Amino acid sequence: MGRVEQMICIQEYILNKYNEMTDYYLGINLDTYFYILEENIDKCIKKSDLIVKIDDYNELKNILIEINILSALKLNRTNIKEIQNIGLELFKKKNNDYGDAFAKYGIIGIIIRMVDKINRILSLYKNECKCVEESMNDTLLDLHNYSAMGLMLILLNKKI
């Protein structure tokens, strides 16, 4: 098995192992996380039917760095769920205020609103937007919700 195949197999194992970890492990630093993985690397190789011998743990770290897995290990799945929940609450609130306006104008209406939000993000980023009291977070959350609404419409149209 070549080096690329080894890296891919190790990457798959680590991502699977990371996803299996409880919230307790999500807050640990990477050195502790690597220690936990080191303890389980033999199980990884056996479970994935991978015939690879890793003699040096530093080699494993180097492989991980090469495939840019370190940044993925730093992601906290809880943050994504929290953002989705905040987006859902905002969607419910705005839907009560405005109704199902997105359904009325269809996917084109959503795309237009998304372009508006992207332009707002660019203005906020360049500090050009001074007239509207909407933060970058608010704008990105709106963009998140417009993306979800677009997907909802696409799924709805497939069922019709």
Domain boundary among 75, 100, 129: 75
Residues 32 and 93 grouped into a single domain: no
Residue 23's pLDDT is what?
A: 43
Q: What's the total number of domains in the chain? A: 2
Residue 127's pLDDT is what?
A: 77
Residues 88 and 64 grouped into a single domain: no
CB distance 135 to 150 below 8 Å: no
Domain boundary among 20, 54, 75: 75
Domain boundary among 75, 110, 126: 75
What's the residue count for the chain? 160
Q: Which domain holds residue 83?
A: 79-159
Q: What is the pLDDT along the chain (160 residues), one digit of tens a residue?
A: 565 666 666 666 666 665 555 444 455 555 565 566 555 555 555 555 444 555 554 565 555 555 445 445 555 555 777 888 888 998 888 888 877 766 778 888 889 989 998 888 888 877 766 656 678 888 889 999 999 988 888 888 776 4
Residues 69 and 114 grouped into a single domain: no
Residues 49 and 112 grouped into a single domain: no
Residue 51's pLDDT is what?
A: 47
CA distance 146 to 160: 21
Residue 159's pLDDT is what?
A: 64
Within 8 A by CB and 6+ apart from 19, the residues are 77
Residues 154 and 100 grouped into a single domain: yes
Is this prediction's pTM over 0.75? no
CA distance 64 to 52: 15
67 CB-contact burial (10 Å; exposed 0-12 / middle 13-18 / buried 19+): middle
